[in-house]
Amino acid sequence: MFKSSGTPLIRVGVVSVAILFTMTLPSVAADSEFFATFGLGRPATPTDIHPWDIDISPNGKGLPSGQGTVKEGGMIYTNSCAPCHGPTGIEGPMPTLIGGIGTLNTDQPLKTVGSYWPFATTLFDYIYRAMPFNAPQSLAPQQVYAVVAWILFRNGIIEESTILNAQTLPTITMPNHKGFVGDARPDFSKVRP
C-alpha cells in the first residue's frame, strides 16, 4: 500500500489531540495513534489556493476588487439572466428574483432575493460561482457587482445611483436579515400516541 518512495511515517507516540480542542474524539484506527503525520499530501501555495478561494462572507471577506452600477447590471441581466429568470426578474421560469417582501408569514409566501435572502454578499457569492446556469464562473467581478446592483435596485433595497464594490456591498442590510432562527427541533412530544 505504501510506496517505497513515499515520505516515511514518523513514529512519535500518541498523537496530540490539542488540534481538536475540547470536543470528544472518536476513536481513530489504532495504527494512526502512533503517527503524528502520515506524510501524505503537499503544502498548498497561495497560487494553489487563490483560484478556488471564491467564497464571500457576510462581512465582505473575499470580495474581489472591481465595481458595478445598476445601469450596467441591467444590460448584463438582459443578456445573461433574463432567458431563465424573465425580462424583469419576475416572469421565470426559474426562481423569481424580485418582490414578495411581506409575504413570508402568509399562505402564499414568495421567497425572492428581496423578500428572503438575509445577506447581499450571498448574492455575489452565488452568481460569481454558479451563474449563469449555462456558463458558470464566466462573469467577471465587475459584471457580478453590476448584476447584484440591478437585482437589489429592482427590489427597492438600494438607490439607482449606488455603486457596488467590496466596500459598499457588505454594508447593505437586506429586508429579511433578521428572519432566520436556529434549529428548534425536536419540536414534538416524544410520547407515542
Interaction site with other proteins (CB under 8 A): 1-2, 6, 15, 19-21, 23-26, 28-29, 31-32, 35-38, 40-44, 48-49, 52-58, 104-105, 107, 109, 111, 113, 116-119, 121-122, 125-126, 129-130, 133, 136-137, 179-193
Phi (first) and psi of residue 164, to 5 degrees: -95, 135
Give the nearest distance from C-beta 42 to other proteins in angstroms: 6
Q: Are 68 and 149 in contact (CB under 8 A)?
A: yes
Distances (CA, A) of 18 to 24, 45, 65: 11, 25, 38
Reading the block at residue 1, the C-alpha cell is: 500500500
Give the nearest distance from C-beta 71 to other proteins in angstroms: 25
Return the HEC string of 46-113.
Answer: HHHHCCCCCCCCCCCCCCCCCEEEHHHHHHHHHHHHHHHHCCCCCCCCCCCCCCCCCCCCCCCCCCCC
Residue nearer to other proteins on the CB measure, 69 or 115: 115
Residue nearer to other proteins on the CB measure, 55 or 91: 55
Residue nearer to other proteins on the CB measure, 62 or 86: 62
β partners of residue 68: 164
Give the nearest distance from C-beta 95 to other proteins in angstroms: 8
Give the nearest distance from C-beta 73 to other proteins in angstroms: 18
Residue nearer to other proteins on the CB measure, 161 or 180: 180
